[in-house]
Amino acid sequence: MAWRSTGTSNEELVENMWRNKLMTDSRVKSVFLKVDRAHYAPAKAYVDAPQTIGYGATISAPHMHATAIENLVEYIVPKPDRPAPRVLDVGSGSGYLTHLMAELVGEKGLVIGVKFTVGDGRKGWVEPPREGEDEGGQGWDAIHVGASAKEVHAELLAQLKSPGRMFIPVDDDSDGWNQHVWNIDKDKDGNVTKHKLFGVRYVPLTDAPKDR
């Protein structure tokens, strides 16, 4: 059904996703209208389908980005007890989803994209607390993983705050042909629960680039 969301402009694409209930939160719709996908997709920016961006990477279909944001939005937007949300985007690709999340966290929030900042996404990213943040500030309220993992890597889980949520595609088998997206939730006491969402096909998380 996703192809029915394809539009001829960013606004039409977003309105089609909204009508097809691929996004249902008005905050999500607002930020998708604000960030034009044409700045981040190499061609056919308003087609609701994934595209290659070179180097073995893809930009996901718009409806997948909408689904990711909808699942994470409560951990991304500022709240009285979380005025400066911290978000990690592993496998940030062209930067489209990173930009969407940066708009949602507000002026005090922080979003780090692992690819912009080169590293091994399986190990997450340790970002020191900024001025005004306590020592617990280096964790992440939300973690989005944009490539399939062999497992929910311990480093990523350790960096997830309490409470916090990770949206991650994980291989169901050793060859990586079968994958499902999971919501990994950590409550305020550090207890972890896992919720299987739906089947997907993502490119794999790979080794960090080696020095030439």
pLDDT in tens, 67-121: 999 999 999 999 999 999 999 999 888 899 999 999 999 999 999 998 744 555 5
Q: What pLDDT is stored for residue 116 in this prediction?
A: 44
Residue 32 CA to residue 99 CA, distance in Å, equals: 10
Phi-psi label, residue 37: left if phi above 0, alpha if psi -120 to 50, beta otherwise? alpha
**Looking at domain 2-200, which CATH architecture does it have?**
3-Layer(aba) Sandwich (3.40)
For residues 10 and 196, give the distance between their C-alpha atoms in angstroms, rounded to a whole number: 30
Residue type at position 205: L
Give domain limits for the chain.
2-200
Give residue 3's pLDDT band: very low, low, confident or very high (50, 70, 90).
low
The DSSP bridge partners found for residue 88 are 112, 143
Which active-site residues does the annotation give? 60
pLDDT band at 123 (very low <50, low <70, confident <90, very high): low
pLDDT digits (tens, 9 = 90+) for 8-67: 999 999 999 999 999 999 999 999 999 999 999 988 999 999 888 877 778 889 999 999
Both structure tokens of 74: 């409560």
CA distance 116 to 92: 7
Which amino acid, 96? Y
H/E stretch holding 75 reads: helix 62-76
CA distance 85 to 142: 8
SS3 198: strand
User: What pLDDT does 108 receive?
Assistant: 92
Instruction: With CA atoms as reference, report the closest residue to 147 among 121, 123, 186, 124.
Output: 121
pLDDT band at 212 (very low <50, low <70, confident <90, very high): very low
CA neighbor of 40 nearest in space, from 84, 99, 90, 126? 99
pTM of the predicted protein model: 0.82
Neighbours of 59 (CB within 10 A): 23
